[in-house]
Structure 1
Amino acid sequence: MLSRAATAIPIPATHGSELAATVTATAHTAGQVATVLLVVTIAVAFYLFTCLVWPFGKCRRCKGVGKFKSPFGNAFRHCGKCDGSGLRVRLGRHVINHIRAVRGAGQNSSSKGDR
């Protein structure tokens, strides 16, 4: 037997107690949504802070080594993705760089146009 609170389709309330339970559940859900948004915002802010401090990560193709060893012998070749550095720019650092570029372009155009 399913209770009315577990259904996905809203069923019109026939009793006052069911309507009160629905309103209470909605208010409780709004609090949960606010908590989840707060946690996600803090996590994103922490990730962007770490990207500000440590802008590079390991290259995913060569796993940070920067070169590949040939299957026969001791020959090496550089990784084509990172050009042999073994590093890549992290996604959060790309976002930070874009925000800085847009902000800088806006400040430069408005300050030069007024003077």
Structure 2
Amino acid sequence: MLPRAATATLTAATHGSDGSDAAATLTATIHTAGQVAAVALIVTIAVAFYLFTCLVWPFGKCRRCKGVGKFKSPFGKAFRHCPRCDGSGLRVRLGRHVINHMRAVRGAGQNSTSKGDK
């Protein structure tokens, strides 16, 4: 591996300093910024779609009992309720927790007791 000073000297010697390198760097930066913006837009749309689905369908299957709500005993005939979901087979989705938190924070701000006029 070459030391930094030698690398800088080799780079300057092989690429020259006529200014074409700056134009290539600018073009690469523009393409990179466009790609970052496109990825950010796609991620934003995906998160918005997920939050919308959590608004419409707030519950998912319980992961422990797989949505059945009960477990079979090891010997075959007896059943017991799932302790995680209390036998409902449902759980609140992560996005719905986020929506509920945002609503609670907004509601707490609107229900302030101090009006400022007193």
- Alignment match, 1:7: none
- Alignment match, 1:8: none
User: Could you give the per-residue CA deviations for residues 45-64 of structure 1, whole angstroms, max 9, x where no partner exists?
Assistant: 00000000000000001000
- Alignment match, 1:89: 92
TM-score, length-scaled by structure 1 = 0.84
Distance 1:18 1:67 in 2: 67
User: Could you give the per-residue CA deviations for residues 78-108 of structure 1, whole angstroms, max 9, x where no partner exists?
Assistant: 1111111000000000000000000000000
Aligned pairs, number: 103
Q: Does the alignment pair 1:61 with 2:78?
A: no
Consecutive unaligned residues of structure 2, counting only runs of 5 or more, are 1-10
Consecutive unaligned residues of structure 1, counting only runs of 5 or more, are 1-10
AA matched with 1:45? A
C-alpha RMSD of matched pairs (Å)? 1.5
Distance 1:97 1:31 in 2: 34
- Alignment match, 2:114: 113
User: Could you give the per-residue CA deviations for residues 17-36 of structure 1, whole angstroms, max 9, x where no partner exists?
Assistant: 22211110001100110111
Identity among equivalent positions (%) equals: 81
Distance 2:46 2:88 in 1: 29
